[in-house]
Structure 1
Amino acid sequence: MQPIKKFMVKGQTAKVEDESTAKIKQKVLAEPKVQQFISQHRAQLNDSIIDKSLPSLFEFYLSQHKKDPVTKGYYPDLIMNKNAISLKFVPEDSKLIHDQEINIKKHLRLINLPEGLHDVRLSQIEMTPERAEVMTAIQRFLYQYSQDIHQKGLYLSGNFGIGKTHILAGLANQVAAMEKYVVFLHVPTFIASLSSHFNDNSLQNEVQKIASSDLLILDDIGAENLSQWSRDEVLAVILQARMDNILPTFFSSNFAMGDLEDHFKETKSSIEPVKAARIMERIHSLAAEIVISGPNRRH
């Protein structure tokens, strides 16, 4: 028999020196996982097929003995491929987790919020009696959302530092993992930054992207300083689009819903109760209020 000089290994050439084909075959066929595979597929195999498949079997053997650096994050698995044994490269658990994290970040856009919120998971959120209602409601929403994306959101109200934003970050990442496009927006900072759009045409495009996202979370609504323009031409437009298209929208606020209307009445230049009532009508249509209590966790 002629020595085997080369085997193709995932785009690279693995040189085999000083071993005859017979010795290589002996080693390969003594490998327990190879023996198990041959036993399971005995009806489909014969000596000719095994000999023809020796390059794949030898690559598998090397991977089992850590002598073959296959593509990082993958491991080889033996499969039957017509009349030959081939290799399938399967992602390792760590690779799958890494890919999922990248996918979540790709689907979740944080606007004026800390990047660390990308790492929050619902499973890591501390369960307390004060959070029981909201966590149950979120789990119910996720189940219903998996069946039909047109769902009503939640309006989380309560004092500073009790974890409203943290809980909503867990929700945002969970929905992003479903490959839905999520926008998580800090309302006060976003409103304050609108002046930077006065001299270009980017605002309309930005508002459209926010308004059409699969899931929108408006954080800390009620803490912003509104002008008539930002209330009526930005916030109201976004909320109207969400309501018209029955897109799930979540809110967090230090104001109860009943108090938020007073905030919307007064802008920098006028008091307009009718326009405030219209804003609140949209919010009521989009979300059900849950009041969260508990200690300030920022201290």
Structure 2
Amino acid sequence: MDSIGKTINHFLNGGFEERYRQLTESVLENQRIRSYLAKHPYITERQVERGINELYQYKTQWDNCDACPGLSKCPNIVQGYQPRLTVYRGDFQLEYHMCTHKKKAEEQRRQAALIQSFYIPKEIMNATFDDFYEDHPSRTMIAAKALEFILHVNPGENGRGLYIHGPFGVGKTFLTGAIANELADRNIQTMIVYSPDFFRELKNGIHDGSYQQKLEQVKRAPVLILDDIGAETMSNWVRDDILGALLQFRMMEKLPTLFTSNFDLDELEHHLTYTQRGGLEKMDQLKAKRIMERVRHMNEVVDMKGENRRK
């Protein structure tokens, strides 16, 4: 934005005084400036004369706002900010405050920061219930359960979650993305983890020293979404030292955990029983049942059916 000094330079080739007078009149005829001066009758003509540059910038930038071209094309001195007139030690000064569009953009950025994810497609992070309804209008009951969870979730006080299962590609992960975005509106932080890759990364973390830090971060997430549980290669270590310990901690701390899976609860229990060692041992059965007791006790089951939307 040009200052009035630069504008005056365009008038130097002739008629400077007249043009300057016209410019000053246009500034002082501005309704916002007139209103400000009327509310501050102690301001003298001399102060106005000294502050004509600030008044000009104030007027011009508000003219830009009145014809707002959008945040990305904002021509104001500070993009996305509107000027406010103040008087300090007898002179006009401009303070800048975020406009509505800038506030909205910052709020969206803040909400995005509330949702952490590992290995989750970007489009899932932009999921909404409007898209969920449009794509699958028959899923009113499923959406109702999800919205009821959003309404009543209270990490640290209520650890109830959801177990969402169904065939491949029916929108389970998309639904959890919509849930996470709604929770962001409530200032509730959500972490979405793609289980198979996360378990592999934890294993690698044993060697590079990041294992404990990563596990602690996931354990303590206010709301945790374990996406595609059951798709990992099961081992005693994953089942007992990771999944079992993780769910035990979250149950004790009353931190909600949501799951998506191609398996129903019985199928997941079967998956947890058979590890890479093969065979079926009684201890494996007991450990699998112990984990599933926590899942069954702390989660409402959501059965999703439908077409594979990824075909």
Q: Same fold (TM over 0.5)?
A: yes
Write the distance in 2 (CA, Å) between the matches of 1:36 and 1:90. Answer: 19
Do the aligned partners of 2:155 and 2:255 also contact (CA within 8 Å) in 1? no
* C-alpha distance in structure 2 between counterparts of 1:262 and 1:65, whole Å: 68
Taking every aligned residue pair, what percent have the same amino acid on both sides? 25
Gaps of 5+ in 1: 1-8
For 1:123 and 1:130, how far apart are their aligned partners in 2?
13
Instruction: Report what 1:227 is aligned to.
Output: 235
| Structure 2 equivalent of residue 27 of structure 1 | 26
Query: In the TM superposition, what is the alpha-carbon distance from 1:288 to its structure 2 partner?
Result: 0.8
Aligned to 2:132: 125
Give the whole-Å Cα distance in 2 for the aligned partners of 1:170 and 1:154.
Answer: 14
**Offset at residue 83 of structure 1 (A):** 8.5
The equivalent position to 2:145 in structure 1, one of 137, 150, 155, is 137
What's the counterpart of residue 55 of structure 2? 57
Query: In 2, Cα distance between the equivalents of 1:89 and 1:288?
Result: 49
| Cα separation, 2, equivalents of 1:138 and 1:38 | 54
Q: Does 1:293 align with 2:293?
A: no
The answer for the alignment partner of 1:3 in structure 2 is: none
- Classify the secondary structure of the residue corresponding to 1:170: helix
Q: TM-score, normalised by structure 2?
A: 0.78
Give the number of equivalent residue pairs. 286
| CA root-mean-square deviation | 3.2
Task: Provide the rounded CA distance (Å) in 2 between the counterparts of 1:103 and 1:169.
Answer: 16
- 1:206-245, Cα deviation, whole Å (9 max, x unpaired): 1110000111000111121111011100111111111111
CA distance in 2, matches of 1:24, 1:230: 74
Q: TM-score, normalised by structure 1?
A: 0.81
Asked if 1:15 corresponds to 2:8, the answer is no
* Displacement after TM superposition at 1:152 (Å): 1.3
What amino acid sits opposite 2:55 in the alignment? L
Alignment of 1:137-176 (within 5 A): 137-145=145-153, 150-176=158-184
The answer as to 2:67 corresponding to 1:69 is no
Give yes or no for contact 2:155–2:222 (8 Å, CA) kept in 1.
no
Residues 217 and 249 of structure 1 are in contact (CA less than 8 Å); yes or no, is this contact kept in structure 2? yes
> For 1:158-192, what per-residue CA distance to the aligned partner results, in whole angstroms no more than 9, with x for missing partners?
11111110010111223234444321011122223
Aligned partners of 1:103 and 1:179 also within 8 Å: no
Partner of 1:48: 44
Structure 2: 5+ residue stretches without partners? 9-15, 66-74
Measure how far apart 1:148 and its partner are.
7.7
CA-CA distance at 1:287 after TM superposition: 1.4
Contact 1:243–1:285 (Cα < 8 Å) also in 2: no
